[in-house]
Structure 1
């Protein structure tokens, strides 16, 4: 099963990202820190989505417009008083030159919605927010997060890939985590 391959291939790089990110989230106690956290994600996800868009139609993902993260991040960012022109944009992204590589990168982005549920709780407490109006990005798809993840994994499992393509998907996911780690470290 492709999910098992992805999990095993990305385990170390995924844990490395979490090791850097969790302390940043825990120390987010003020709006200015939250704005920096949002800028960090926007700076990586926005250009990554632009690369994915070139191939997403060939992946079997029919609801890409619902899965884009950058508009939601920007909306949350604006609510903190930030301006998009202040956000640094990552240029060191994973290679995405095929639908298989797009799926690998999407695995990382979609998986982030699962962890986002825990982050939403932490940020709500740290920032004294009630509800999720200002933390929509981290809240993922809200009550629909599990269903959206299942929809993504169904499309992934139905993707007609032979073994070499599965390795390309897994390597793209690993590269995405690795590039995200580099971006977080630099910012």
Structure 2
């Protein structure tokens, strides 16, 4: 079995009781960075084996992990902050589990874009989440495709690139389009 367990974004108290319960019960915790994840786990005195699972090794370890799950081991996948699969690794492992008939359960919890959207004052009844933008290839193509989008659009962007990205977006979406 695989649990997808959201982790706090910035405040260790922003974790659900159920998430803590699952982390205490699984056999192994898969994480992006063991050092980052250890802060959360140590804070809540959770001592479980940690195994790295990130964009640089996911292709190599998925088959081994699904074999272990089929043998009865339970895993929790956590990211450095937020919900696994939302602009973080999870897709390949979840797809493999589904294909192998392994139960996957995603716990509700922290996602950065929902509080940002609700706090923005921009309409949130209909929106599209685009995640991180391509750094180079495909960036302008994506902006052109989205230029006529009427729903609120949500993007993730690095603070270091934010001003430049907003300037680019103004060129495609118009200077009158609200952003936050």
TM-score normalised by L of structure 2: 0.24
The structure with the largest alpha-carbon Rg is 2
Higher helix content, 1 or 2: 1
- 1 or 2 for the larger relative contact order (CA 8 Å, sep ≥6)? 1
TM-score normalised by L of structure 1: 0.23
